[in-house]
Chains A and B, each alone.
Chain A
Amino acid sequence: DAKTTQPNSMESNEEEPVHLPCNHSTISGTDYIHWYRQLPSQGPEYVIHGLTSNVNNRMASLAIAEDRKSSTLILHRATLRDAAVYYCILRDGSGGGSNYKLTFGKGTLLTVNP
Chain B
Amino acid sequence: SAVISQKPSRDICQRGTSLTIQCQVDSQVTMMFWYRQQPGQSLTLIATANQGSEATYESGFVIDKFPISRPNLTFSTLTVSNMSPEDSSIYLCSVFSRNYNEQFFGPGTRLTVL
B3-43 vs A, CB cutoff 8 Å, 1 = contact: the mask equals 01000000000000000000000000011010100000011
**Contact yes or no, A44 B56, CB < 8 A:** no
Task: Report the Cα distance A44→B103, complex, angstroms.
Answer: 9
A43 at the interface (CB under 8 A from B): yes
**Contact yes or no, B45 A101, CB < 8 A:** yes
Q: How far is the CB of B27 from chain A (nearest CB, A)?
A: 16
A residues near B104, Cβ cutoff 8 Å: 45-46
Q: How far is the CB of B107 from chain A (nearest CB, A)?
A: 6
Task: Report the Cα distance A101→B96, complex, angstroms.
Answer: 8
Contact-residue size bin, chain B (C-beta under 8 Å from the other chain): 20 to 34
Within 8 A of B (CB), among A42-61: 42-46, 49
A residues near B31, Cβ cutoff 8 Å: 97, 100-101
**Contact yes or no, A97 B30, CB < 8 A:** yes
The closest CB in chain B to the CB of A103 belongs to: B45
Task: Report the Cα distance A98→B32, complex, angstroms.
Answer: 10
A72-83 vs B, CB cutoff 8 Å, 1 = contact: the mask equals 000000000000
**Contact yes or no, A101 B33, CB < 8 A:** yes
**Contact yes or no, A107 B30, CB < 8 A:** no
B82 at the interface (CB under 8 A from A): no
**Contact yes or no, B105 A107, CB < 8 A:** no
Q: How far is the CB of B90 from chain A (nearest CB, A)?
A: 8
A106 at the interface (CB under 8 A from B): yes
**Contact yes or no, A104 B102, CB < 8 A:** no
Give the A-binding residues of B (Cβ under 8 A).
Answer: 4, 30-31, 33, 35, 42-45, 48, 56, 92, 94, 96, 100-108
A sample of 23 inter-chain contacts (CB < 8 A) reads A43-B4, A43-B94, A43-B108, A44-B43, A44-B94, A45-B105, A46-B102, A49-B101, A49-B102, A87-B42, A97-B30, A97-B31, A97-B48, A98-B56, A100-B31, A100-B96, A101-B48, A102-B33, A102-B45, A102-B103, A103-B45, A104-B35, A106-B42
